[in-house]
Amino acid sequence: METDEVTARVALYNPFTGKLIESGADDPVPAAAALGLEPPRYCEQCGRRMIVQVSPDGWWAKCSRHGVLDSKSLEHR
């Protein structure tokens, strides 16, 4: 299997808008997200809306298909 075929099968979604990320297209990131202040709202793997809990010391987000992601694992705390 060629690398191009594998890359073509992997779809990534914007974690702040839920839109499919297309090669070569601008995909703006909100200012708060760029600073690490905004948690992701959509799963990067499937684009589904996630359950998000924000606390004073961080946040966690849960996708029904792909599990939990938290600010500690991303070193944003």
The pLDDT tens digits of the residues spanning 19-71 come to 898 887 777 788 888 787 789 999 999 999 999 999 988 899 999 999 999 88
Higher pLDDT: 18 or 9? It is 18
Residue 1 has pLDDT above 50, yes or no: no
- What is the length of the chain? 77
User: Which pLDDT belongs to residue 48?
Assistant: 95
**For residue 51, which amino acid is it?**
I
Six token digits for residue 50: 């996630």
DSSP state of 71: T
φ, ψ for residue 32 (rounded to 5)?
-65, -35
